[in-house]
Amino acid sequence: MSAAPHPTADSAVPGTQDLAARFTREFGAAPAGVWQAPGRVNLIGEHTDYNEGFVLPFAIDRTARVAVGIRQDSTVRLLSTYGDQGMVSASLDALEPGSAKGWTKYPLGVMWALRERGIDVPGIDLLLDSDVPLGAGLSSSHAIECAVVTALNELTGAGLAAQDMVLATQRAENDFVGAPTGIMDQSASLRGAKGHAVFLDCRDQNATLVPFETEPAGLVLLVIDTKVSHSHADGGYASRRASCELGAEVMGVKALRDVQVGDLEEASGLLDEVTFRRVRHVVTENDRVLQTVERLAAEGPAAIGTLLDASHASMRDDFEISCPELDLAVDTARANGAIGARMTGGGFGGAAIALTPVASEAKVRAAVVRAFAEAGYAAPDIFTVSPAAGAMRVA
Ligand code: ADP
Ligand code: MG
């Protein structure tokens, strides 16, 4: 999937018609419609979500699209253009956590979560096509869920607001899929808008659109997928969460969101050395998100490079969630013209982003590929993303 051609605004329409035509061939009738939802990149604000802090993701120009038809019974038939799982059938009445396998747990989880809310979800036929790379930290799974929830919201006439759809997909991920994720990914996918990032307060879940356009500033945002698996199975994620909870407890606050940069000196006297550095990352990262929002509004993206760099240093040195491949990607991008770069996502692998002048894009790409080869690392996947529209109906 990651080899899929970079989509353009123009390519969306013929692609949509192809998908509807393929649906008709596979299921024997035309779909009721086609809906799409994007993946996301987090511009800044890492490991701040579960500390009730701030994040700043944006919807990207890579989407999952679903063609959906309503059935007259309680059967669900699911097919993806990717992978070799073939058509999967399930019964609505048998849906429960643990009942689905592979990718089908994402659409079925959304159907389950909507039913749990009391929404009368019909049986459906569904064909999925996505150009969001899998497992690269761009949230291909939430793209699927958000496309499905948007489709079902319309088809059932449930009339859910974006915020309710965010919560339904979170319920699907947490309780049906079994992934302890927050609200960032769905919020970006459902509430994102072209040329904007989504400033999200993870305490009250309030979302605000912030102008973020790279092209007029002569910049591109490169994603460098290191191909290092970002599995959190080694307990790194859990131990970071535990450190944050300990830090908040010792500081006497509900969450690290309530600790300000000016409180860090006091914190250093109260906390052990490692916990202090974990806390310092979260506190300074929250501050960097707020500064990024301010600078984007006042000066534009060319002004946020140093904040991206500082975010990476904080994750590398204080939170210790980077890895050699991410550090090499970031350092090489910076040394070859990027104005700011950082790892993005949970850490321990996955992707880095590099905000790069258009004139330096080719040089950065070539230098990163060369540096990875020289270090003996697997070849990275490098592509541009731009802030794009959130979930919507396309046919
Ligand atoms: P991420 O969301 O960061 O990309 P996840 O592990 O959460 O990584 O989700 C990846 C999973 O999403 C895949 O293992 C697969 O089950 C599913 N998936 C994503 N895109 C597709 C697709 N086009 N077809 C089938 N399954 C997909
Ligand atoms: Mg995911």
| Identified catalytic residue from 131, 185, 225, 318 | 185
Residue 106 lies in a domain: yes
Task: Report CA(143)–ligand 1 centroid distance (Å).
Answer: 9
Residue 2 has pLDDT above 50, yes or no: no
Nearest CA to ligand 1 atom 8: 135
184 by DSSP, 3-state: which? helix
Q: What is the mean pLDDT of residues 167-192?
A: 95
Q: What is the helix (H) or strand (E) element at residue 238, kind and residue range?
A: helix 236-251
Torsions phi, psi for 70 (to 5 deg): -85, 140
Residue 91 lies in a domain: yes
Task: Report CA(262)–ligand 2 centroid distance (Å).
Answer: 35
Nearest CA to ligand 1 atom 27: 103
pLDDT value at residue 232: 56
Q: What is the mean pLDDT of residues 334-357?
A: 96
Task: Report CA(21)–ligand 1 centroid distance (Å).
Answer: 24
- What distance in Å separates the CA atoms of residue 162 and residue 112, rounded to the nearest whole number? 18
Nearest CA to ligand 1 atom 15: 103
Long-range CB pairs of 87-95 (<8 Å, 24+ gap) are 87/26, 92/121, 92/123
Residue 237 lies in a domain: no
Q: Within 13 Å, how many C-alpha atoms sit on residue 373's CB side? A: 6
Beta bridge partners of 40: 59
pLDDT tens by residue, 219-247: 999 999 999 987 654 688 889 999 999 99
Q: What is the helix (H) or strand (E) element at residue 220, kind and residue range?
A: strand 219-225
234 by DSSP, 3-state: which? coil
Residue 303 has pLDDT above 80, yes or no: yes
- What distance in Å separates the CA atoms of residue 41 and residue 366, rounded to the nearest whole number? 22
pLDDT-derived band at 73 (thresholds 50, 70, 90) equals very high
pLDDT value at residue 144: 98
Residue 292 lies in a domain: no
Torsions phi, psi for 340 (to 5 deg): -175, 145
Among all bound ligands, the one having the nearest atom to the CA of 106 is 1
Q: What is the mean pLDDT of residues 25-37?
A: 98
Q: What is the helix (H) or strand (E) element at residue 241, kind and residue range?
A: helix 236-251
| Best mutation site among 22, 41, 103, 129 for ligand 1 pocket (most ligand atoms within 8 Å of CB) | 103
Q: Which residues line ligand 1 (CB under 6 A)?
A: 1, 80, 82-83, 102-103, 128, 130, 134-135, 137-141, 144
pLDDT tens by residue, 49-68: 999 999 999 999 999 999 99
Nearest CA to ligand 1 atom 24: 82
Residue 320 lies in a domain: no
- What distance in Å separates the CA atoms of residue 5 and residue 127, rounded to the nearest whole number? 20
Residue 69 lies in a domain: yes
- What distance in Å separates the CA atoms of residue 342 and residue 242, rounded to the nearest whole number? 24
Q: What is the CATH number of the domain that holds 66?
A: 3.30.230.10
Q: What is the helix (H) or strand (E) element at residue 277, kind and residue range?
A: helix 273-298
pLDDT value at residue 26: 97
Residue 180 has pLDDT above 70, yes or no: yes
Give the domain range for residue 48.
Answer: 16-210+388-393
201 is catalytic: no
Residue 377 lies in a domain: no
pLDDT value at residue 178: 92
- What distance in Å separates the CA atoms of residue 249 and residue 267, rounded to the nearest whole number? 11
Q: What is the mean pLDDT of residues 342-359?
A: 95
Q: Count other Cβ atoms within 10 Å, centred on residue 87.
A: 12
Structurally, the chain folds into a number of domains equal to 1
pLDDT value at residue 231: 67
Atom of ligand 1 nearest to the CA of 82: 24
Residue 381 lies in a domain: no
Torsions phi, psi for 209 (to 5 deg): -85, 135
pLDDT-derived band at 14 (thresholds 50, 70, 90) equals low
Nearest CA to ligand 1 atom 7: 141
- What distance in Å separates the CA atoms of residue 378 and residue 217, rounded to the nearest whole number? 32
Strand pairing report for 75-80 and 124-130: parallel
Task: Report CA(140)–ligand 1 centroid distance (Å).
Answer: 5
Atom of ligand 1 nearest to the CA of 134: 4
Query: Which has the closest alpha carbon to 391: 134, 89, 110?
Result: 110
For the chain, percent helix, then strand, then coil, each to nearest 5? Answer: 45, 20, 30
How many residues are given for the chain? 395
